[in-house]
Chain A
Amino acid sequence: MNEFFRTLRERSFPVHIMVFLAMILPSAGLYFVAGSGTAGLVWVFIGVIVIANLLAMMV
């Protein structure tokens, strides 16, 4: 586990770029998903954003 955290911190720049995109793109996508009324897909998109924020906390 410590190895995983160390790797993340060593690569903080690409990880931050990935985290940023994983927050913005699914958030924008949620506008269209909400309009289509598929609740399951909403949770998938929010799940991606949650993972991005978890990664942000680890870096």
Chain B
Amino acid sequence: MFALAILPIVIILFLMVGFRWGASRAGGAGYLSALLIAVVFFGAGTEVLAYAHAKAVFLILDVLLIIWTAFLLFRVVDEAGAIQILGEALPYLTSDRGMQALVIGWAFASFLQGVGGFGVPVAVIAPILGGLGFPALTSVVIPSLGHAWSVTFGSLGSSFNALMAATGLTWDTLVAPAASFLGVAGLGVGFMVAHAAGGWKALRRLFVPVVVMGVAMGVGQFLTATGGLWNIGGFIGGMVGLMVGFPLARRFRGQEGQEGEVAWGRLLLALSGYGILIILTLCVQFIPRVQEIFSGVVIGWDFPGTETALGFGVDPGPGHQIYILRHAGMILFTSSLLSYLIFRWARWYEEGALRRILGGTVQRVITSSVGVSSMVLMAVIMQHAGMTDTLARGVSTTIGQAYPLLSPWMGALGAFMTGSNTNSNLVFAALQMRTADILGISVPIILAAQTTGAALGSVIAPTKVIVGASTAGMAGREGEVMRKMLLYIGLLIALVSALTVIGVILR
């Protein structure tokens, strides 16, 4: 039964790695195999299947609302040329190679992951670093590493939202351990970026800036996320990194000194879209009256209990509910709308911008929407048929109390195979939760290990490496990028394994 239960996951991983299928194609195969196995071997009847599918709808919408609107906001800002303005301003701060790597390849990459994601950090930064004279391989490796720690709370929190959706746990249960693990991983990322930029010499010379920036970014993300603003945790973490990095960059200016001036007015206007996002998020989260009004509209259904022919039961209760007006997706949509009006008022758009923004957004998100839908449907069917439970029992029996060591590697494997932290959380989070439950280990710690491992593993996923390599003119040399990054990411995941063991012991 264990081999049958794990088969849909194996099929997805096999198709994505062995045959380089995208998530939308492999997800379809995973769904079909899960459905067949659930019916034939796990005794899932029509009632189990019907309610599992219906429950999945709200999980899918919850995840996709953020993915759609996060990309819409990014397109609104990018179409206005604001991302280019930010990218052009940063190199003027310092001519020190190491500091350029830290400020642009680490802090700015984390900021871009916070607001956009979807491969944007590497696509934007690799050409900038290449233009500054970094070798092509280093230009890809630095931003790929630099944004890794920011993936879970980046893309406006879509991966963290997927973690909540897949487990049914609330943000306040999951956020503190996840933000702590990611913060420590972020500090490790800083050292790796310094090493990638200039070897051990740069690492020793830039020790203080790395520690200062790393602590500031990690604490910034932690306080933001644990304060209830988890959807802008990665964004604020990156923003704090830039704010701390600017004065540090002036201090570590390099021998050539500063060249050129930063146009602060244009820079602030370029950032206005994200300023609106912060203000709206703060209003909805912290003004009780606004929160009360916006919590009035809830969509969701009540579900009866179900039982398979083999006797595996799911209790009755409300399914996943969406508070539509205060949903991060709605805040992002409003921010996109207001940002568009501001950039239009400032005449930063060229003819036909709205059509390009909307067309580009739909074109970009539709394939990932199909992939997310298939994978969520598969995960919920597996849960309702008792397949996830069978897997968890098998893993807990085989690995036992050493499970915390393995947990982040499992998350990383999922992300490596599926190309995304979100997909890894959707596929593996329920399994990790159930296994931790059976072993009597802290569930939030194990889920923090899952999502941190997945965030780190996602940056060495073949799909992401291919995109990164192509932006730096390294198409066809993806193997070099992956080899260079494997050691860095492996060390970081080992660090997370150690943190997980400590976390489990302390809880």
**Chain A interface residues toward B at CB < 8 A:** 12-13, 16-17, 19-20, 23-24, 26-28, 30-31, 33-34, 39, 42-43, 45-46, 49-50, 53-59
Contacts and interface: CB of A to CB of B under 8 A. Distances in A.
Interface in B26-79: 27-29, 31-32, 35, 46-47, 49-51, 53-54, 56-57, 60-61
Interface residues of B, number: 28
A30 B51 contact: yes
Given A46-B53, A49-B377, A16 B28 contact: no
B28 A20 contact: no
B367 interface: yes
A46 B49 CA distance: 8
Nearest to B21: A57
Contact of A56 (B25, B53, B56, B60): B25
A54 B32 contact: yes
Contact of B53 (A13, A16, A30): A30
A53 B32 contact: yes
Interface stretch (B165-173, B214-222, B236-244, B368-376): B368-376
Given A24-B60, A53-B28, A39 B46 contact: yes
**Most chain B CB inside 10 Å of its own CB: which residue of A20, A26, A33, A50:** A20
B374 A53 contact: yes
Given A31-B54, A57-B29, A24 B46 contact: no
Contacts of B50: 30-31, 33-34, 42, 45-46
B370 A56 contact: yes
A45 B53 CA distance: 10
A38 to B, nearest CB: 9
Contact of B301 (A31, A43, A54, A57): A31
Contacts of B31: 49, 53
B148 to A, nearest CB: 29
A12 to B, nearest CB: 8
A16 B377 contact: no
Contacts, number: 85
B46 A43 contact: yes
B328 to A, nearest CB: 20
Q: Which 9 A-B pairs have the closest CB atoms?
A: A34-B50, A31-B54, A56-B28, A53-B28, A27-B53, A30-B50, A57-B28, A42-B46, A39-B46
B377 A23 contact: yes
Nearest to A58: B25
B366 interface: yes
13 contacts: A12-B367, A13-B363, A13-B366, A27-B54, A30-B51, A34-B54, A42-B46, A46-B53, A53-B27, A53-B374, A55-B28, A56-B24, A56-B28
Contacts of A39: 46
Contacts of A33: 50
Nearest to A14: B366
B404 to A, nearest CB: 35
Contacts of B373: 20, 23-24
A42 B51 CA distance: 10
A20 B377 CA distance: 12
Contact of B370 (A19, A26, A27, A42): A19
